[in-house]
Structure 1
Amino acid sequence: MSHVATTFHDIAVDSLGTAEFPSPIRRARKPGENLCTFVSPEARIREFVEFSLVHPPAEERLFESAGPREHLFFRPALTRCAVVTCGGLCPGLNNVIRSLFLELHFNYGVAVVLGIPYGYQGLDPSMGHAPIVLTPDSVLNIHHQGGTMLASSRGERDPEVMLNFLLQQRVDVLFCVGGDGTQRGAHAIAMKAKERGAKLAVVGIPKTIDNDLSFCDRTFGLVTAVEKAVEALDCAHVEAQGAPRGIGLVRLMGRDAGFIACNATLASQDVNYCLIPECPFELDGPRGLLEALRSRIDGRGHAVIAVAEGAGQHLFGASSGTHDASGNRRFQDIGVYLKDRITTFFRERNRPVELKYIDPSYMIRSAPANCDDMLLCDQLARHAAHAAMAGKTDVLICYKNGKFLHVPIPMAVAKKQQVELDGPLWASVLAATGQSARYGE
């Protein structure tokens, strides 16, 4: 057994200064008060919960534990906050807005909470979008609705312009709800504020339906997306079984990560082929997907295929190089491509198939959050409020190893989280579908 000592690295989170104002929220200050206690500034969460006794990690990072602090940097009654939702729609956005407002307004007594309309466009005065003052009535029922009451947009804006607008509005805290592109924008605002000596706290809340942000075991919207994806897969299965030589093909979200496709496959248990960006596959040849599909149709008479939108992009050859407003590379439509290739393959062999193609992407994105995501949204939002009032900045609230923690935004967006092909999730998918680990090899 190894006796090498692990070296711990404490991950520092930027702070605006000394927290010296007592918190107004109800928490125990001594044992026996039957209340949850404040989180100590020294509380840390280990990066790893599992390791080998023979080969323990030589190095491990320690992250700040999220939660309410006994002392605050901001005086709540004098504090003005703003929240912005950016990027594509995702189940749970309204839940985050509502819980964030409720925590700030009722528990902390924050003076003003502004809603910034249309994403980062709303921080650029030239776009003409005026901030909305949030009230208890304005957020009363939004958690039952899909989308975001503030609307959203993609695209970068000049951080200098956005900071100037925030300062002109006398905003002390900015909450940025979005994925990696949004959080890069949040980091740029935080850095610009630091350069100018502005005491602006910038706190990120991770929103990516693809679940591809690092240090986040789960981001809100994923479970709802999986639930809705299973409904589409169930319909595809019915269609496949309801026709001679039937094939149900469902294109799901997942640009760089196949978490929705994998989890929906496992929940459905009716998928025969799950195709994800992390695992390249070939269509042609004796070991290609098309030949495997032919064997399946000839033997069982039907098949269901789940494909993530970012899968199989190598099949299109050289990329066009174009990008969307968020800087994401524009992908070719793998769903339509597979539909055409599969039908052509079987028609050329005089063994035509009945293929039904389903793309539920926008129905999934705009759905209200389910109960599981509602709970996660509530906790992420409240922990973001705690971090901001304590003066934390340039920080993302993450859920990892069953705990909520503070992660510096640059660290969280340094690389995307993806399905591990040697991990238990992909192994479960292979076991459930019976498919080859990699077609074409």
Structure 2
Amino acid sequence: MECSENSQTNMKVTCGEAGYVLEDVPHLTDYLPDLPTFANPLQFNPAYSVVKQYFVNVDDSVAQKIVVHKDSPRGVHFRRAGPRQRIYFESDEVHACVVTCGGLCPGLNTVIREIVCGLYHMYGVNKILGIDGGYRGFYAKNTVPLTPKVVDDIHKRGGTILGTSRGGHDTSKIVDSIQDRGINQVYIIGGDGTQKGASVIFEEIRRRGLKVAVAGIPKTIDNDIPVIDKSFGFDTAVEEAQRAINAAHVEAGSIENGLGVVKLMGRYSGFIAMYATLASRDVDCCLIPESPFYLEGKESFQNTDLKDASGNKLLPDVGLWLSQKIKDHFSGQQKMVINLKHIDPTYMIRAIPGNASDNVYSTLLSHSAVHGAMAGYTGFIVGPVNGRHAMIPFNRITERQNKVVITDRMWARLLASTNQPSFLNSKELAEVQKEEPQTPTQLVDGGKF
């Protein structure tokens, strides 16, 4: 039964027995009710002849919370991703496009490749365009025809063959371009800012009554997108970050009074730093945005009010600031000469191709997006929730950021590993506990403790 609908987000919410809640994603038939359906060609695909169950049941859903008490309500669920028995696009009818926005991330080319190959090999789609240079490419640049041959080996390269940019979002111009080109499936790869833009594009498409499916593939190397277990590129980033930590450890241990400072990505979320620290076991102190820390007195690290084209704050370089403070402390107060090595591997990590784990994960994300769009779903992003791939409404992943919970056991494990102080007194800790959501820190393997 339909129990409510959010008037601001138009999110469909279906309620069931025992506190079951389905936060559903939009469908083309919500505003185009008379669309015809077609048999899914996957059932005739020889590669899938060994599959015991071709299609996902239309009523399958994925629970957001899997650790419950015997009397707990079933809670929030999301529609399970995967191929449906009936689809809303014929193969010859599909004219798809793919766009990458925001910063670089390992695995971007893999996602592009698998969207193209998934559409071509699973659904027989031949018309696929790459939008050059992010959102502004819809109206300011040429498109790139994408075929399996064009994308054959791009997963072995870092970056994105389509180019990317921040900003450039002009909803009216973008949707005009989609309409003028006859595009009816839009695959948008990007972080929370990009997906906010994708949500606006979807709303404008729905307002115009166009038969266009909009699917988002969440991209953030920081792992700061909520709801999903992790974002693609994160495993690669943690693996590569360990190389920088190891280099700093070797440098510090090879010279008298040696110190190593490594700055890793994580504008507001410290997942890369936390997991790289736990994996390396060579770190003596790990500082993350979620955990306030102090050096001496009340002097603080000053932020600016400047923003980039995506609306993100331009933050000063905390690595350089911290390195200078350490040097000043030892040269001024301790009268000691130290050898400090500051390593910032940010752009080296962003630019590499995804590792094996991320390549497989990127494939699953891409195929989930393709299956969803072909089945007529729109206005959604894809990702694993407790290990099962689901389709999630745009607003759920843009309403907040995923952050390390410093009252969680995973952060406690890090403190035990490094033997560093928590920097929080009892009063500050109580305040943090009030503010933090009662959800555990997400783990790399998708599980939770």
**TM-score, length-scaled by structure 1:** 0.88
Instruction: Name the CA shift for 1:177/1:19 in 2 (closer, same or farther; >3 Å).
Output: farther
Aligned to 2:438: none
Equivalence map 1:170-185=2 (5 Å): 170-185=182-197
Instruction: Measure the CA separation in 1 of the matches of 2:287 and 2:399.
Output: 25
Query: Does residue 63 of structure 1 match 2:113?
Result: no
2:130 counterpart of 1:145: no
Please say if 1:252 is aligned against 2:254. Answer: no
Does 1:101 find its partner at 2:101?
no
Q: Pick from 365, 389, 395: which aligns with 1:404?
A: 389
Distance 1:413 1:27 in 2: 38
Match of 1:378 in 2: 363
Cross-structure match for 1:344: 328
Q: Which residue of 1 aligns with 2:319?
A: 335
Counterpart residue number, 1:168: 180
Deviation at 1:168, TM superposition (A): 0.8
1:110 paired to 2:125 = yes
Q: Which position in structure 2 is the counterpart of 1:92?
A: 107
- Post-superposition shift, 1:284? 0.8
1:439 and 1:9 map into 2 onto residues whose CA distance is 37
Equivalent pair of 2:252/2:260 in contact (CA under 8 Å)? yes
Matched with 1:353 is 338
Amino acid at match of 1:43: D
Q: Does residue 41 of the first structure (1) align with residue 53 of the second (2)? A: no
Please, which runs of 5 or more residues in structure 2 have no aligned partner? 1-16, 30-34, 427-449
Separation in structure 1 between the aligned mates of residue 388 and residue 367 of structure 2, nearest angstrom:
14
Range moving further from structure 2, 32-41 or 182-191? 32-41
What is the deviation of 1:399?
1.2
Moved more, 419-428 or 215-224: 419-428
Task: Quote the Cα distance in structure 1 between the aligned partners of 2:226 and 2:361.
Answer: 17
Q: Aligned equivalents of 1:370 and 1:362: distance in 2?
A: 16
Among 11, 23, 36, the residue aligned to 2:40:
23
The counterpart of 1:208, out of the listed 215, 220, 224, is 220
AA of the residue aligned to 2:186: L
How many correspondences in the alignment?
401
Matching residue of 2:307? 323
Given the superposition, is the C-alpha separation of residues 6 and 329 from structure 1 closer, same or farther in structure 2, using an over 3 Å criterion? farther
Shift of 1:216: 1.3
**Alignment correspondent of 1:365:** 350
Aligned twin of 1:12: 24
Q: Deviation per CA, 1:136-183: give whole Å up to 9, x if none.
A: 221011010000110100014211110000111100000000100110
Q: Deviations over 1:85-106 (max 9, x none)?
A: 1000000000001111111011
**How far has the Cα of 1:40 moved from its partner?**
1.1
Cα displacement (A) at 1:51: 2.5
Query: Contact 2:62–2:385 (CA<8 Å) still a contact in 1?
Result: no
Distance 1:426 1:367 in 2: 28
CA distance in 2, matches of 1:60, 1:227: 35
Deviation, structure 1 residue 36: 3.5
**TM-score normalised per structure 2:** 0.86
Structure 1 vs Structure 2: percent identity of aligned residues?
Answer: 39
The reply to whether residue 194 of structure 1 matches residue 206 of structure 2 is: yes
Residue 375 of structure 2 corresponds to residue 390 of structure 1:
yes
TM-superposed deviation, 1:76: 1.6
* Contact residue 16 and residue 199 of structure 1 kept, 8 A: yes
Q: Which amino acid aligns with 1:171?
A: I
- Structure 1 residue runs without a partner (length 5+): 289-313
Partners of 2:359 and 2:51 in 1: CA distance: 26
Q: CA deviation at 1:199?
A: 1.3
2:131 maps to amino acid:
I
Query: Does the Cα contact within 8 Å between 1:159 and 1:189 map onto a contact in 2?
Result: yes
Which of 219, 230, 238 is residue 226 of structure 1 equivalent to?
Answer: 238
Equivalents in 2 of 1:111, 1:27: separation in Å? 18
Kept in 2, the 8 Å contact 1:217–1:401? The answer is yes
1:345–1:439 distance in 2 versus 1, CA, 3 Å: farther
> What does the per-residue CA deviation read over 1:275-323, in whole Å, with 9 as the maximum and x for residues that have no partner?
00100101115xx9xxxxxxxxxxxxxxxxxxxxxxxxx9234x42111
